[in-house]
Amino acid sequence: MSEKTILRALKGERLPVPPVWMMRQAGRYLPEYRATRAKAGDFLSLCYTPDLAAEVTLQPINRYGFDAAILFADILLLPQALGLDLWFVTGEGPRLSTVTTAAGVRALKPASAIHDTLSPVYETVRILRRELPSETTLIGFAGAPWTVATYMIAGRGTPDQGPAHAMKAENREAFSTLIDRITEATIDYLSAQIEAGAEVIKLFDSWAGSLRGQDFDDFAIEPTRQIIAALKSRHPGIPVIAFPREAGPRYTGFARATGADCVALDNSVSADWAAAEVQKDGCVQGNLDPRLLVEGGETLETETRRIVRAFSNGPHIFNLGHGITPDADPENVQRMLAAIRG
């Protein structure tokens, strides 16, 4: 059997047609996802019921034949496993109990205790490895420590990550300890996903763009570097995709500084710029604007082809610059694929 396309791209091979998957490919834009989610009752039950989580992971593979499946779970399951309360408010999003003090950081459960909560996630991975087509790569994931910390400190998503920046400024020691605790737990969480069958790991640093200067080095680069080094020493050859969203000029050199095999690009950076500045260090992933899957039309096709062409001289995995949105038209995904593969 020939090696899976995504794994070849991650080793630095340039392919005539880039492999493709989409962030949030299992999600509310798909009627079959909405049906399974209704059956589960609520989002967290969906995440923690392995048969149903595997079912929604497979839905976009069955419908579109993407080259990779991403485990269905959420970056906020890890804070829950560390002892925080987590719940989802319909129409609003996730809510957590908060950690803002040194005592709060000390009260978190140790990394060794996370598997009690997270073992259903590993079972989902095992089911997927049995059920996925032989050509489809299975991606496991976690949030990067800074992004996870922003939710643990604020108890919710925030437009400017203000509470996390405040704790960093006012109590840098407790904040750094929190980052270390998340880093350690993330290594154990991702190791368990790899042992269950994940073939690639993706780290989502969705809020990396709000870290400036030395903070970007200390809290976006350094924890990511530590996680990648630990994973590669425990599981030699495991490929890692890092997504420091909205890093802008700091995308340059990010792969070298962290040891990532691939850097995922958001759609605020130009593909031509990234082909010259980022792809020179290895594989890149991205970066179609997810709005185009709502709008469709000629722009969707011309933009898709432009991105394929811009990255055609090196290793590239086609993806969106951020997650597909619930109002996207499933037909537009088909049009995007035709433009990539046709």
Window 138-167: contact mask with ligand 1CP (x via CB under 6 A): ---x---------------x----------
The reply to whether 305 belongs to the active site is no
What is the C-alpha to C-alpha distance for residues 189 and 77, in angstroms, rounded to an integer? 10
Window 200-219: contact mask with ligand 1CP (x via CB under 6 A): ----x-x-------------
Using the rule CB under 6 A, which residue among 29, 48, 64, 72 binds ligand 1CP? 72
Judged by CB under 6 A, the stretch of 22-30, 77-85, 182-190, 298-306 that binds ligand 1CP is 22-30
Write the CB contacts of 276 (distance below 8 Å, at least 6 apart in sequence).
Answer: none
Using the rule CB under 6 A, which residue among 75, 185, 284, 328 binds ligand 1CP? 75
Judged by CB under 6 A, the stretch of 19-27, 264-272, 279-287, 332-340 that binds ligand 1CP is 19-27
The reply to whether 151 belongs to the active site is yes
The reply to whether 212 belongs to the active site is no
Q: What string of H, E and C letters represents the secondary structure of the chain?
A: CCCCHHHHHHCCCCCCCCCECCCCCCCCCCHHHHHHHHHHCCHHHHHHCHHHHHHHHHHHHHHHCCCEEECCCCCCHHHHHCCCCEEEECCCEEEECCCCCHHHHHCCCCHHHHHHHHHHHHHHHHHHHHHCCCCCEEEEEEECHHHHHHHHHHCCCCCCCHHHHHHHHHCHHHHHHHHHHHHHHHHHHHHHHHHHCCCEEEEEECCHHHCCHHHHHHHHHHHHHHHHHHHHHHCCCCCEEEEECCCHHHHCCHHHHHCCCEEECCCCCCHHHHHHHCHHHCEEEEEECCCHHHHCHHHHHHHHHHHHHHCCCCCEEEEECCCCCCCCCHHHHHHHHHHHHC
The reply to whether 74 belongs to the active site is yes
Nearer of residues 241 and 292 to ligand 1CP, judged by Cβ: 241
Using the rule CB under 6 A, which residue among 19, 50, 94, 290 binds ligand 1CP? 94
Site for ligand 1CP contains 74 (CB under 6 A): yes
Using the rule CB under 6 A, which residue among 14, 24, 232, 291 binds ligand 1CP? 24
Q: In the complex, which residue's CB is closest to ligand 1CP?
A: 157
Site for ligand 1CP contains 93 (CB under 6 A): yes
Nearer of residues 253 and 323 to ligand 1CP, judged by Cβ: 323
Strand bridging mode 86-89 / 93-96: antiparallel
Catalytic residue among 29, 33, 37, 122: 37
Q: How far is the CB of 13 from ligand 1CP (least distance, A)?
A: 25
Catalytic residue among 8, 14, 28, 126: 28
Nearer of residues 27 and 163 to ligand 1CP, judged by Cβ: 27
Q: How far is the CB of 328 from ligand 1CP (least distance, A)?
A: 12
Site for ligand 1CP contains 29 (CB under 6 A): no
Site for ligand 1CP contains 320 (CB under 6 A): no
HSE value, Cβ hemisphere, 13 Å, CA-based, for 284: 33
Are 68 and 139 contacting, i.e. CB atoms less than 8 angstroms apart? yes
Residues at the contact surface with ligand 1CP, assessed by CB under 6 A = 23-28, 37, 43, 70, 72, 74-76, 93-94, 141, 157, 204, 206, 323
Active site residues: 24, 28, 37, 74, 151
